[in-house]
Every structure is written in C-alpha cells, then in structure tokens.
Structure 1
C-alpha cells in the first residue's frame, strides 16, 4: 500500500498489481478505526492516519506468536491515537505520514525501538493538555479533535450506552442510528440554557460539551439545565438516579460538575469542561501508550 505515498504514476495508471491484497488491508484498517470509536465516515476524525494503518496493513499481524501480534496491534492503535491527539500532522502532513510509515515498519520488523519514533516523543509532539481542550476544542460534529474526543469515549472500557434507552453505543448501533437519521450530538449543557446565561457560542460548541445519543433521547434535554433534566428523566422514565448517573459517567462525563447548582452558570460550565477534559485525557493517555 506504499503507493499511497508515491508522487509518480506507474505504467498501470496508479492501480497496484496486488489490488485484492490492498482491498484487504483497507478493510482491515477501517475495521480497526471502527473498533476504536469511529464506525462511520461522519464520526471519523481524520483520514491521514488511516492511510498509514492501511499501508502497514493486516500483514503486520500475521504471526504465530500471540504476544507479537498483541504488541503489534497495541503499537498500531497507539500510533492512531497519537495521530489524533497531538499536532503531528498539522504541518507537513504528507512528509510526516511517510516518515511515520517507515518508522512503524521498522519497529514492527524489530529494526528500531518504539521510543525512537518521533510521534511518540513528548518533547516534539506531546498530547494536547486538558486546559487547552477545555478552552479551544471544536464541536464533535465538525472539529477533528472534537470527533476524536467522541472516539475516545466510544473506545474506552466504559462501553457507553444511551442515557434513556440503555442501548450500548457500539459500532453497529451508531451506524444504524446514522442510517435512520437518529444519531444526535447532544449538548450536555443545552445551548438555550447557556445562551440565556450569556455564554459565547464558541464556548457553547466546545466538543467537551458534546455526547452522541439517540435523537429521541436528545429531545428530552434540549432546553433544561442538567440538574433539571436529570430529575425529569428519573421521575418520568422509571430510571433510578444511580442508574442514570452510571450511564452518564459511561460517556466520561463528570456527573457532580454536570448537575452542580453552585455558582453562576458560566462558571459551572467552565469547571465542567475542565473536569471532563481531564477525565478524557486519562483514557487517551492509556489508549496512546505503545508497548514497552
């Protein structure tokens, strides 16, 4: 799949001779990112690292030693998360992708150490700090990093569920909701509430204020402060507060900061974003940790 990085066309018009093998590698790469929280095109944060995964290909996991296969998968997955949560590909993307491919291939062949890969260098490409995410990340339906935050939630060990239906938001269910046009991107602190409190729209649409839910669930919440809609759901839907809390926290949402009524709305909202950023980055650091 290295032809993805070539600049000159070959005599076959750019179509590789091993086309069937290429298709298998593409399928494998798409399955990997689907399992890592991006089950559809609209939920995929970024295509460039998928190209690298495709180029490395399922061939990297063809080994009789389970330990080697597991280490290879962990390395490839960690590379993907570092691609999403660092500035590695914000500049000179094509050159850096080619460099990533060569370095990954060398590590998988045992020719170099993981620590020598530039993308895993905290000096050159540290993970985004929580404080920056709390102030600057864009919305989960548009921004690359916003979408990456959702992927981190869906790929976490919590296996999030819809807050009212209780259905697991796995890849198949996300795709089903999208096909039915029933996948909504919910503002945890509703836009109406924050606008009335004078919060700028840029802050309202911070990705840390977003979770993916069934549209029918989202419609229960759109105009009430969080502490009110939580009370409404427990009263009207037969869901205990403990159960609802568990479902909400499964999206890496800090429940206490979410339902707090102490202080002004914009102050509570700022504290919520920072608390959620820290929760999410704990998970991202684990996902982005390569094998030692």
Structure 2
C-alpha cells in the first residue's frame, strides 16, 4: 500500500517523533546529544522553521515544529542523515540508526500548542526517568523556566498564550506543567484524530486537507529528476542504472539522489532500490557530492540550474 503523502502547510505546527531502529539507543553519550543539538540549530537556520518544544529521550525524540516554506520532511531527512553519519563514523559502523520515516502529526496550534509542549516536556516523567521535569537536561522545559538558554528554541508563542510579561508567563507555564504531571499517554498526540495525521476540529481538518490537495500537484517525482539529469549529462537510463561501475554513471546517480533528497522527491532507500544500489554506497556518494559543491562552483551552478528547471516543470504541471 502506498504511503500517504506528507501534508505541508507553511506556518503549521507538527508533533514530530523519530525513533531508533528496532528501539535501539540513539544517544550513547551526553556528547551525542550536544552534537545532535548542533545539527538541530543548523537546521533551524537553514530551513527557517521554529521549534517550540523538544525532548531527547534515550531511544527517540519529540519536537513541536512550526515549518516555513521548506517541507518538514526535507529538514528531518537532513537531520537524521547527518546525525546517523556522525554516529556511524565515530562508532566505526554502518547501517540505519533511525526506524524508517519519522512520524508527524499536524496540530491545530491555537487549540493544542500549550498542551503539546507540556506533553513533550513531561515525557521523562511519564517514562519515570525523573520525577521532576526540571531534573531532565535534554528537553526545552528548563529553557522555558529561564534556567537554561537554548538559542534555537522559540518560546514567545507559548508565553503569549499565558501572560503578557515574561515573569508572569514563566510562572503560569510552571503551574500549567505541574498541573499535567499525572497526565498519561495521549493517543491523539501520536495518531491524530483524522486519517492518522491531523489533530484538530472538523473545520481545521477540512482546511488542512484542502491545502494539502491544492499543493500536492506540484510534487516532484523521482522519475522526473532522473529524466532531467540524464538529459543534462547526455546519458540514457541504461548508462545510469546499469551494471557499469564507471565514474560517469556513479556521479549521475549521486546527483539524482542528492536532488531527490533536496527536493523531497525520494529517500536514499527509495533511490537505492530504483537503481539496485546499496544505500550506504549511495549515501557516501551524496556526501562526497555535497563536499565537492563547496569547492566546485561549476558543479554547484549545475545543480542549482537543474533544481530550478525541475521546479518550473512541476509548477507547470500542477
């Protein structure tokens, strides 16, 4: 069965969950969480989204993310890819760190933002890692109380729903969180109330699905990227996907995989399956391509032109 497409609505808030593959631990040391937060900060700057709440659990993460124009899937794929590469390099291993696709629930922020942030920040209490959320360093709770400073965490929206001045807002936030200490697992924050991906009343759901339907026509397909790259490199599909291990074919596959990731058309796993290539080999090729782009202005220019062409073609078909 085909997966449902992600619903992308600029300005919308999502509850994002990403779990370790097979329930494995994703943070082996505290330094890992520091490295992960550096990548999160980089993503906030690069993709122009806002994080209103977060919690790094030993084997999974929670985020309350408000997206900009860039789809959430692109930012999350980049974060998971970079962190997996960092862990694998340090541990001298290969393979997946995270369990497939991340889960994201589109949330009616006007109704649920406060409750969602509280729910995320109380995760360590529900799982009995701590009895007081202020004891847990790896969530946004301490920053909301003014105990820590997290430059990439946005707090003003939550504060504005509680009080006009900062001091009162923090006091109200502390009371609000304390009132939820006995709150149990909430199914709606994990599955939504409509189609397994939206949490809101009927009006909110209807509008979200309408916006998603209007924007879905412009989605770029992997096949379109392959066609454009083949034309640009003056190669046919057999040369790119065949058994030939030559440099030209490998570079074309890396370029296709990069564009597919960058334009949210396909994951590395999907591209690897299409070309019958090992994902770790393809991942390494994409990493080398990224590094070359920093030094090779001609290559960077070519990739930008191809991305623009693909965007124009998709919009014309929408």
Using structure 2 for the length normalisation, give the TM-score.
Answer: 0.28
Bigger relative CO (Cα 8 Å, ≥ 6 apart): 1
Using structure 1 for the length normalisation, give the TM-score.
Answer: 0.30
